[in-house]
Structure 1
């Protein structure tokens, strides 16, 4: 026994530094992963975003001007909703309550669950888009664009035709038109929609401004999960995932004509998928700070992008491309100038892309006005 211990002890002593080194490395990696997770979690609320983003005093202290109620609590306002891996779109909102956001089991920002098959007497609308459509900055679930729109439809149109309108919001911060097209083609078209509406366009320009190809790129949540996967691989002594050259951003902005071409490609594919199930699609080009002719308040002006001219060029190209499409089940509505008549006396934009409840209500009313032109019989579709 003593002989065995004499042999074992040196072996243990030799292995101890390696074991301690492995433990220390694992502990350091775990700490780094935890730091990454905490940083991402900061972005889940408006208050968190305000605390970690480099802003002027005007931007940070006067955000409440974009809300009708100045007592709004930024600490409970959902901003970047937690995501989880989701088939074919990379990631989408994780079901559950996240601050003032409720995500149902279908990953839609709705308190109610979607019933499948669809109940009789229901007119089902799906709203797709990025963070604006999702409702980043909305002071409550009911004051998202989808929530306001559903109320407008049921109070006005629904009372006339005896139909109950549902608006389910399947949108996610940072999604491009490619994410929306895949969601429409593979998912929403199978859930008995009567109408698809999109509030979109801005994120295609946002990613193109960063040199990304919206047909083949990783969004923020994709990169986050890749970071976590690489950390796990490193702890396990494995190689990190390969860097894909096709996904790397280009060193320059994507030409405006290419931005418009890629958006049109997604629209054509999505419209074809919906035509196969007899569903129409209305695409609303969303308002954004860089293209508005609104008189800007000092706070809004501080958010104005250095890429303003690029956004103007891209929006012009996208609007021209989509307005000239002759597809039976597709209609394009340009809302980019809907705030042009407003003066600098009132804040409307929360930042470059988002809105408080005042902006959400204005957009929902504009969408409702367009839909009401052809809704009313309970069976008509725009």
Structure 2
């Protein structure tokens, strides 16, 4: 007689299966959070993807910049630096300063070579020393993705080639991110061999995303459970102090402080001055992730709020300890950046994203560093004790930088658009209704049942990359689309909609455009607004704005 299974049996089976699923889910979360391949090549060489067309593989450093290249806003000189041509050997009567660091030194998103902080320092000294017969040359030695290991490993060769009198170093943020992304076990086993491994860890063009492990991680990364855990766990651990303790150990294993000490010792042994610079972080230590998410106008991966908060205090503490131990100067621009961004609206004036600076941010950074360089004993000996102008006096000579905030109220109470928003003209409109919000025109459909269309022509070629638009939406059905119509045909450069119904996206929040590099005067732009709450904000007939836009009321 067949055995019958009662209700209790099936309940027990369901409980057993449920328990297994819970365990598997826990393991999946644990693997996604902690189990990664040892020394993943994208952890230690994070910059290659940024330099395709500019970079080449290097057996020691992983990659370096090619000489005499021009890609987008980046132009390299005869030696592969984002700087003016450099004479080798160093001419007589030249005091040479080499700035080392990653993308925050090379000046990602600055718009032009001359708007990086080393280039601005170079211009400061050129103006200060005009007619004196003295030359202070500042070379931008920054490379996308470089961290303290790169600085240490490249310095000997750079010294032989350039014969610098002073080295300015602003490392730290890439060290923190590499330590965070690299498993502790890999750091324990590989720290002493990092110098041998950088060359083999290059994320070569075309390779990213092709490995099975990478593809599997990307697929599993779609899990809402993982995304929630990756946000909540670091924030929860941060409150207990455990997260900082874990990351501090990883940063120590990675070797940031040891690398800074080694770099200073090597410089000193060769008679080269060293100045350390604290990278000014966008996050605030007295805040919370929830507050920062509302304060910072750029998307930042949830778990990185805790990482950035740790990095801010850990790198500053490490630099301070190295400076006290070795006697080298330390420049800390963080208080200045904190003061200038007390109003959250000003954050986009100094930062182009969560890591990099606008040209104005680089201008402020250069003003913070310049006084310490000007008073350096070695430089003063070279100048014969010459008094140099103050940073404020020099800053007045750079109106295109000091006036960078994109909107400024005039005495008549109106807003004047500064910066480099290209001029446009409206050539057609269909089913469009305009309203005013301060000095801004807000476009949306007159009849919600039909799309609204706005056609504009570009009157001047954009003078910088990284342009943004200002769309707004209240639901996934309220869609803002922008097409560029040029010689190459029609190209979609923006599709924007709110993620959830009934939740307006922030007003005047810049959204990046996929604008092609060959965009030029005469191109036509067609805006399509679908849904009653699809909006586009424009200033007169301008719809394209600098990514560093600072918005007024």
For Structure 1 versus Structure 2, the TM-score category normalised by the shorter chain is 0.5 to 0.7
- The answer (yes or no) to whether the contact 1:174–1:220 under 8 Å persists in 2 is no
**Superposition pairs of residues 17-28 of structure 1, within 5 angstroms:** none
- C-alpha displacement at 1:297, in angstroms? 10
Correspondent of 1:356 among 355, 358, 373: 358
Change (3 A) 1:318 1:301: same
Aligned partner of residue 163 in structure 2, secondary structure: coil
Which residue of structure 2 lines up, in the alignment, with residue 222 of structure 1?
A: 202
TM-score calculated relative to the size of structure 1: 0.65
Aligned partner of residue 329 in structure 2, secondary structure: strand
Q: Residue deviations 1:102-127, cap 9 Å, x none? A: 21232211131x22221111110111
Is 1:202–2:182 an aligned residue pair? no
Correspondent of 1:339 among 337, 340, 358: 337
Which residue of structure 2 lines up, in the alignment, with residue 270 of structure 1?
A: 263
- C-alpha displacement at 1:81, in angstroms? 6.6
Q: Which moved more, 1:363-372 or 1:127-136?
A: 363-372
- C-alpha displacement at 1:285, in angstroms? 1.4
- The answer (yes or no) to whether the contact 1:259–1:318 under 8 Å persists in 2 is no
TM-score calculated relative to the size of structure 2: 0.46
- C-alpha displacement at 1:291, in angstroms? 4.2
Correspondent of 1:91 among 49, 59, 63: 63
- C-alpha displacement at 1:129, in angstroms? 0.6
Q: Could you tell me how far apart the structure 2 residues matched to 1:380 and 1:172 are?
A: 34
Correspondent of 1:372 among 367, 371, 374: 374
Q: Could you tell me how far apart the structure 2 residues matched to 1:176 and 1:337 are?
A: 23
Cα RMSD for the two superposed structures: 3.6
Correspondent of 1:289 among 276, 282, 291: 282
Q: Residue deviations 1:14-41, cap 9 Å, x none? A: xxxxxxxxxxxxxxxxxxxxxxxxxx9x
Q: Could you tell me how far apart the structure 1 residues matched to 2:273 and 2:381 are?
A: 16
Is 1:123–2:116 an aligned residue pair? no
- The answer (yes or no) to whether the contact 2:275–2:330 under 8 Å persists in 1 is yes
Aligned partner of residue 84 in structure 2, secondary structure: coil
Which residue of structure 2 lines up, in the alignment, with residue 311 of structure 1?
A: 308
Q: Residue deviations 1:141-163, cap 9 Å, x none? A: 1111111110012212x348642
Q: Which moved more, 1:308-317 or 1:100-109?
A: 308-317
Q: Could you tell me how far apart the structure 2 residues matched to 1:160 and 1:377 are?
A: 18
- The answer (yes or no) to whether the contact 2:103–2:144 under 8 Å persists in 1 is yes
Aligned partner of residue 336 in structure 2, secondary structure: coil
Aligned partner of residue 340 in structure 1, secondary structure: helix
Q: Could you tell me how far apart the structure 1 residues matched to 2:281 and 2:172 are?
A: 9
- C-alpha displacement at 1:202, in angstroms? 0.9
Is 1:168–2:168 an aligned residue pair? no
- Flag the structure with higher helix content: 1
Aligned length in residues: 285
Correspondent of 2:296 among 289, 297, 300: 300
Change (3 A) 1:287 1:142: same
- C-alpha displacement at 1:131, in angstroms? 0.5
- The answer (yes or no) to whether the contact 2:180–2:250 under 8 Å persists in 1 is no
- The answer (yes or no) to whether the contact 1:85–1:92 under 8 Å persists in 2 is yes
Change (3 A) 1:331 1:185: farther
Is 1:180–2:151 an aligned residue pair? yes
Structure 1 gap segments, 5+ residues each: 1-39, 45-78, 232-251
- C-alpha displacement at 1:86, in angstroms? 2.4
Change (3 A) 1:380 1:288: farther
Q: Could you tell me how far apart the structure 2 residues matched to 1:182 and 1:380 are?
A: 34
Change (3 A) 1:220 1:161: farther
Is 1:256–2:227 an aligned residue pair? no
- The answer (yes or no) to whether the contact 2:278–2:331 under 8 Å persists in 1 is yes
Aligned partner of residue 174 in structure 1, secondary structure: coil
Which residue of structure 2 lines up, in the alignment, with residue 137 of structure 1?
A: 109
Q: Which has the larger radius of gyration?
A: 2
Q: Which moved more, 1:333-342 or 1:202-211?
A: 333-342
- C-alpha displacement at 1:292, in angstroms? 7.1
Change (3 A) 1:349 1:139: same
- C-alpha displacement at 1:300, in angstroms? 3.0
Change (3 A) 1:304 1:196: same
Q: Could you tell me how far apart the structure 1 residues matched to 2:384 and 2:201 are?
A: 38
Which residue of structure 2 lines up, in the alignment, with residue 6 of structure 1?
A: none
